[in-house]
Structure 1
């Protein structure tokens, strides 16, 4: 199958964006439970048949949006497969590309993240997001210091603490309407990680 044959028709892609944007804006206004398919189709200015051509119901729509966004968030934060300990940035003033990409991804989909992490968001979303951060940080900690006996504080405690703070900084940034650039936020996050973790590992 050629690459051209699997590309999504631009008109379909536009329709999917309209549907998804409609759901997010409606959730922001009144919460998911109060949103109906009729609300979504009315906001997106499409008919119900078009909606059901792509989604089974509003739950299917929400699940697909969340899964796609979290996959993108995870991909933005991943280290390259060949990454090794000597690649770690030693200068806390120079954030790794993955930290910057993460903030860029959140900025690109800021309305989604503001809603999902806000009072009308999806219950459990923040935990799923934090789990992605936690898994990545645990992987990084294993590269930095693979020997548990050389870690002054149990690794799980360190990773849980840092992941919680990491997500908290993202939420703060969104609450402040992203008044700082992704690179600036990545630098501050790198400083916080550096100040908090330099004493965790024996040298």
Structure 2
């Protein structure tokens, strides 16, 4: 098995395990068993489970999740992300950890910042007509603003994930739409149906 293929298998084994078990309770043996490799193979690619999780983040939060959102209103983009998170709430809740070794929040911010930066690099400044795009283009420091936007997105999502189950995606979107409308980032739009799996 090649290095890349083994990385791929271990990362996805960890993601699958996260669907059923909180990260803090997952052992190297759990990941190795799910990946059908032995412990020594795991340690050839990752020093510990935290490194494996860091490597898995871009597999969980992918650019493809964002590409389809490019032409949507800002809150509709966030609505699509919240819908995905709601459909994968257990996985996301299980990977949220904050300790001396690892910060899921910071890792998610890093991944989302990278994705938003790639989008910013591809913006056609001549066609930058949406308020959110203009906001980024006219910022004193684009990189800083993009990181702030990524932090805001991740903060909203982690708050929703961590909150009790009585908070529904629709409740989160009501607040997000209100915020975006009051900030003038988009016109008021009717709430779309959120296709959340039951």
TM-score (norm: length of structure 2): 0.54
Q: Provide the rounded CA distance (Å) in 1 between the counterparts of 2:12 and 2:145.
A: 39
Q: Secondary structure at the match of 2:61?
A: helix
Once the two structures are superposed, the pairs formed by residues 26-175 of structure 1 within 5 Å of their partners are: 27-29=23-25, 35-36=27-28, 38-41=29-32, 44=34, 48=37, 62=53, 65-71=56-62, 74-79=63-68, 83=71, 88=73, 95-96=75-76, 98-119=77-98, 122-123=102-103, 124-132=106-114, 134-135=116-117, 142-144=128-130, 151=138, 154=140, 156=142, 158-175=145-162
Instruction: Tell me which structure has the larger Cα radius of gyration.
Output: 1
CA-based RMSD of the aligned residues comes to: 4.5
| Closer, same or farther: CA 19–154 of 1 in aligned 2, 3 Å | closer
Consecutive aligned runs of 4 or more in structure 1 exceeding 6 Å deviation: none
Q: Provide the rounded CA distance (Å) in 2 between the counterparts of 1:77 and 1:164.
A: 16
TM-score (norm: length of structure 1): 0.53
Q: Count the aligned residue pairs.
A: 163
Point out where structure 2 has 5 or more consecutive residues left out of the alignment.
Answer: 1-8, 186-198
Q: Report the equivalent of 1:195.
A: 182
